[in-house]
Amino acid sequence: MSALTKTEILNLLQDLIRIPSVNPVLAPTEGHNEVKIAEFAVEWLQRHHVHAEIEYVKPGRPNVYAEVGDGDGPTLCLCAHLDTVGTDGMEIDPFEPTVEGNRVYGRGSCDMKAGAAAIMSTAAILAAEGTVKGKVILALVCDEEYASIGADHFVKQHKADACILTEPSDLKMVVAHRGFLWGKITTIGRSAHGARWDIGESAITKMGSVIVGLDRLDKEVLRERTHPLVGPASMHVSLVTGGIGVSTYAPECQIQIERRTLPNESIDEIKKEIEQVVQAAAEGSKIEWFFRRDPLLCDENELIMQHVSNAYQSVVGTEVEKVGWEVWTDAAVFHEAGIPTLNIGATGFGLHEPVEWVDFDSVMKNTDILVQSARTFLKDPSFNK
Ligand SMILES: [Zn+2]
């Protein structure tokens, strides 16, 4: 890595941490600066001869798009989010990064300004080499910590042949993770005066049977259904409301449930399975599916996996460890858009916690792996066929 020194990359990471970019939906009293950090990223990239611009997802919520290369060949996308979670309860100065040995402390140091610094540095290094056939594009997105409107918007605007995310992963290659499905279930009772046991029917009691049925499905069936990389499927009842007064039979009860899904499950089958349990417990109940995010699975034969594996081997000297995650990430948004996607990011500690730090050595290695992956991926002979 020639074009940028270690100090320049460390300075970049520290500058990113110094600009608060707390997600404004998660922490409305803190978060206002996704625009400032996006403007900083554009300015830094342009200064390093990388074309960069802001793309507004909606007012005050910007993505940064950047590109380097001649466009004559494949496109590799590198993605990191610029927003962070809030700072409530933090035990370190969140926005004045301190460096102790290899560690850089601050809110977002690990999740994931380190990843943003790595992809920005990669673009700058490739721009300085000046020989990029094809294109490396950067997606520096907003709102990953809440609803991922940034990634959703980005994949509608831009195409790519592969994508690498840099969420902190201890330099392990994340090739799969679970998705999720949210549903609302409503049971209907017969409202009546609390004394009228003869006609009253409690929707809450009916929901009791539904909850017991769903719990049995979770513990007895779903726990047996596992994927080698991400573990078992699961579900839980997360919210409950119902009833109108202590002396009235409850006319309605509602729960919200979350089902965590595996890479090889069919969403229709998942819905059918839950609907059967609900109807068996309380016939006539209503089910509404209102939000879903798909799982991630990067196929073993994908070119990007081979190139990142080779790059890792050359930088670290050992074979990269392939893992699955239980949590959902923006990687699935790119995967859903038909772009083969995996994640490899830095080592650190304290994501969303009172003390957060990233190991700067791993940020340097991450950058090196990205640069080498980009160099070889863009030259892969299969794109000339
Ligand atoms: Zn993150």
Tell me the H-state helices in 85-234: 114-129, 149-157, 203-216
Enclosing H/E stretch for 177: strand 173-177
* DSSP-assigned letter for residue 249: -
> What SS3 class is residue 364?
helix
Same domain, 217 and 230: yes
Same domain, 288 and 216: yes
Per-residue pLDDT tens digits for 178-188? 999 999 999 99
22-48 average pLDDT score: 93
How many percent of the chain have pLDDT more than 90?
91
Cis peptide before 112 (omega within 30 of 0): yes
CA of 82 to the centre of ligand 1 (A): 9
CATH number where 262 lies = 3.30.70.360
CA of 112 to the centre of ligand 1 (A): 5
Per-residue pLDDT tens digits for 44-77? 999 999 999 999 999 999 999 999 998 989 999 9
Q: Is residue 1 part of a domain?
A: no
CA of 40 to the centre of ligand 1 (A): 19
| pLDDT of res. 131 | 80
Per-residue pLDDT tens digits for 115-161? 999 999 999 999 999 888 899 999 999 999 899 999 999 999 999 99
Same domain, 192 and 331: no
- Tell me which of 251, 274, 293 is where a domain ends: 293
Task: Please give the mean pLDDT across all residues of the chain.
Answer: 95
Domain enclosing residue 23, as ranges: 6-177+295-384
Kind of pairing, strands 348-349 and 357-359? antiparallel
At residue 312, does pLDDT exceed 80? yes
Same domain, 90 and 162: yes
CA of 166 to the centre of ligand 1 (A): 9
At residue 2, does pLDDT exceed 70? no
Same domain, 108 and 131: yes
CA of 81 to the centre of ligand 1 (A): 7
Q: Is residue 280 part of a domain?
A: yes
Q: Is residue 126 part of a domain?
A: yes
- Token pair 């990064």 is found at 97
Same domain, 321 and 279: no
- Tell me which of 293, 310, 332 is where a domain ends: 293
Same domain, 308 and 373: yes
Task: Tell me which residue of 273, 258, 257 sits closest to 225, measured CA to CA.
Answer: 273
CA of 345 to the centre of ligand 1 (A): 10
| pLDDT of res. 169 | 97
Tally of domains within the chain: 2
Lowest average pLDDT, out of 22-36, 71-85, 275-289, goes to 22-36
* Residues 6 or more apart in contact with residue 309 via CB below 8 angstroms: 173, 319, 320
Per-residue pLDDT tens digits for 90-126? 999 999 999 999 999 999 999 999 999 999 999 999 9
- Tell me which of 293, 315, 345 is where a domain ends: 293
Q: Is residue 263 part of a domain?
A: yes
CA of 111 to the centre of ligand 1 (A): 4
| pLDDT of res. 79 | 98
CATH number where 96 lies = 3.40.630.10
Tell me the H-state helices in 19-113: 34-47
At residue 333, does pLDDT exceed 70? yes
| pLDDT of res. 1 | 46
Per-residue pLDDT tens digits for 195-240? 999 999 999 999 999 999 999 999 999 999 999 999 999 999 999 9
Same domain, 88 and 107: yes
CA of 352 to the centre of ligand 1 (A): 9
Kind of pairing, strands 231-232 and 135-141? unpaired
- If one compares 385 and 313, the residue with the highest pLDDT of the two is 313
CA of 208 to the centre of ligand 1 (A): 37
Enclosing H/E stretch for 267: helix 267-281
CA of 73 to the centre of ligand 1 (A): 30
Same domain, 251 and 137: no
Q: Is residue 22 part of a domain?
A: yes
CA of 372 to the centre of ligand 1 (A): 23
Provide the sign of the torsion angle of the four alpha carbons 263, 268, 269, 275, taken in this order. positive
Same domain, 220 and 317: no
Lowest average pLDDT, out of 28-37, 178-187, 199-208, 313-322, goes to 28-37
165-172 average pLDDT score: 98
Provide the sign of the torsion angle of the four alpha carbons 371, 302, 229, 177, taken in this order. positive
CA of 96 to the centre of ligand 1 (A): 20
Per-residue pLDDT tens digits for 267-289? 999 999 999 999 999 999 999 99
At residue 165, does pLDDT exceed 50? yes
